[in-house]
Structure 1
């Protein structure tokens, strides 16, 4: 088991006031003022006054609007600050004793998933914990890519990382970049955008194959195919997050498990990591 604890950077600026920020979230969610008012038990006129700065919302109203707009927890704190209130959600370091049970539970979970790969990442894909299945896939990766803080996206797409060993890299790379684009739109995270620009600029190895004919890929979801000691292993990625988080750190954690996509991968992993 490897573990790494990192901090996260603040995101949304608050200088422009809470009104424009709320309007931006409402437009991003494609919700009208009237629809938002009905959801939040308010009026379209009051929503308009808040967005234009003619009315200062209460702390309760800010939180209510943020909930109905599905604003991420970190950004809810930014909205409160912009409205002149204290942050509502704490941001507890993952190595804080208060999160011991959570951290130990996640480590037991990914360890229990062995021999299949599993890891825990934060909002910018920094690896916080990984099991032996993940460590096995890292065989042969240069040391400079394995130095903390280890980043899952950088490790996967770097031309000296896993990328040369992923036969369907063009498709898998496209999937990962689209995933990051959706998260950037949701979270407005500058660190995540910087990571996206970095990994999107990595050259694609000449060995990367293009898309195979549909009938030649009988998978139920796009697999990540990776070569390991002369074999091609296939995995389907599944990502889990915490429901109703009340802490910024917990809200931004994700547990990724790689499910074997074919019997040969299952058999090989069980023989390698009994």
Structure 2
């Protein structure tokens, strides 16, 4: 991220170089230590930062315009799904409360596509860690794990994910709630539905996107599930119970465990009903 130490050092070096050039070329490199030179140094720093921001904005604008032209000439693939290949994938689905998906796509040619992919990865990582709740992608709460990997030395982009529910419901969630993120990444691969400005359209063409996704899938040879019969909601509840018991005092832990019928009631303890009944008997 931009806050990583190497990135901060690189940004600081670039700003320092630009400040020095501005200080020397624009203001004549004044010497000495006075209020005037300090004011000039501050002004040079401000101009350097504003200049860098302007150059970044212009560069991004040029890149997006060039990308938009590439999007205009892109042609989505309309080939049908290979039924034999699909059968080999479907036979391993819906055997538990969770499923696994492995997809391998081919990158479009060009440096601009690689840069767009990196930008999408960066924005997704920031929003996943800083914006969304842990374990959620926006309002999607069925994802156990998901990752894209650009295989080194190749033009192949791999995606693999563990998710709760069916493949159909998984993709419907993405189409309805996270289409922009998917499109930002996969629009840089061959055959993806038509996209605008990197993040628009694409996966919102639901039927075409599903056919494309099926064509990218390959059979998963092995994957691990720690809780085969539990969905993400049940796993979260169990996790909260575990944390509650682990951090509880003796009495609180006893109350937690009593909810599961796993702790016998002590002979010296009486319920409120028992105490009330005994009191009424004594009064009568």
Q: Indicate the structure with greater helix content.
A: 2
TM-score in terms of structure 1 length: 0.24
User: Which structure has the greater CA radius of gyration?
Assistant: 2
